[in-house]
Amino acid sequence: MTIIIIILVAIIIGLLIYNITIHKKIEQFNALNRQANNLRVLQDFLSTVGETSSVDEKIQKINDILIEKYEIKYSTIVVFDGAEYQIKASNVDKKHWDTLRRLQDVPIFKDSVATATPKYITVNNDSEKLPYQESEFARAKSAIFFPIYEDNVYIGYWIIESGVPHDFDNIDTTIFEVIKDNIVSVLRSVVHQKTLESIVRKDLFTGLYSEEYLYGEGKKIIDKYTTSAVCMFRITNIEEINEKYSRELGNQTIIKISDYIKKNIVDEYIFIRYMGPKFVIVFSGVDPNSAISYIENIKQELEKMQISSEKDNFEEVELEAMDRKNKTNKKSKKPQMVSPKLNFVITTYYKGTGMEEVLKKLEQYIDSCEKSENSITTI
């Protein structure tokens, strides 16, 4: 009997050791699985940052990744843009956004913001509501508020919500702290792009976008293709027109050239005013050799133009009217007429490379040319 008891005790001890070993292995496996999942999420984050889309679209996609990968019911990212708090991404109905963008003012979250620590709140039953909720009851019953800091500066918050009371009681917030840090990294990565998007302007004379357009919205169109032809041209005699005739006539020359190209360019191509008398045309998905025939035609047509300023045209009509009225044989003032001279340079842009470097190369070539040069060059 004693031997049987000893054997049973040994078996029990063996089973306990086996169970403990299995439990440790399961914990190790779960930890590795979480790490692998976090790495996959981080990889998805990085892929999103590299996409040719706007900053707001990138942040929304990141939020969608969080919801899918971590099975979060509701997720909202709110960022201070320098003037006010804005919801950058959320899957919550828009009727609740007014409440969600003011959470930093809710007393229960103020300590969380001050100490840079997450705050978990929940209710005990379905008849209760969370402290920040105003008119809604059924949507959220649990929430974790994560303040977002960048270089020790508070810039907003991330809040996840569940429709189940106590749903986050046993959750490991460490994982979500890592996610929050990744959100900060993404926001930091796209801040330069956001700046470019916000400073894009239209030129008053021509109605064309400025150079910055090529680094944001324009890049979405260009990067649909592996390669594109980028062409820069300069009105080489613009200084002569300004000095010999008038700056108004120089402005009119710029306007007439811009209007002509705008009317004779397809939607997929991008035409912007680069700087002063320099312009850029991006032939999306076209190689330089194919674009040259278009450039030759357009150069020929533009240089045949006889351009006069609106002021000169007005003076001519006015003088003719006076002549008729006075019944004299005086000849009206002949309007000032000019023809533009254009110097073109064209090269290839490859998707994924720096557009700013391509434009710098083209500009350096244009600026190094003699002012009288008006040709078409491929570099």
Question: What pLDDT digit, counting tens, does each position of 97-125 carry?
Answer: 999 999 999 999 999 999 999 999 999 98
What's the rounded Cα separation, in Å, for the pair 362 and 359?
A: 5
How many residues would you count in the chain? 379
Q: What is the pLDDT of residue 313?
A: 45
User: Is the confidence at residue 147, as pLDDT, over 90?
Assistant: yes
Q: What is the pLDDT of residue 312?
A: 44
Give 308-312's long-range contacts (Cβ < 8 A, gap of 24+). 308/249, 308/252, 308/335, 308/336, 308/337, 308/338, 309/245, 309/246, 309/248, 309/249, 309/251, 309/252, 309/335, 309/336, 310/248, 310/252, 311/246, 311/248, 312/249, 312/336
Q: What is the pLDDT of residue 205?
A: 78
Question: What pLDDT digit, counting tens, does each position of 47-84 carry?
Answer: 665 555 666 777 888 888 888 877 889 999 998 877 78
Question: What pLDDT digit, counting tens, does each position of 245-298 carry?
Answer: 888 888 889 999 999 999 998 888 999 999 889 999 999 999 898 899 889 999
Of the pLDDT bands very low, low, confident and very high (cuts 50, 70, 90), residue 317 is: very low
Question: What pLDDT digit, counting tens, does each position of 202-260 carry?
Answer: 877 788 988 888 887 788 889 889 999 999 999 999 999 888 888 888 888 999 999 99
Average pLDDT on 149-171 reads 89
Of the pLDDT bands very low, low, confident and very high (cuts 50, 70, 90), residue 334 is: low
Decide: pTM greater than 0.85.
no
What's the rounded Cα separation, in Å, for the pair 223 and 285?
A: 9
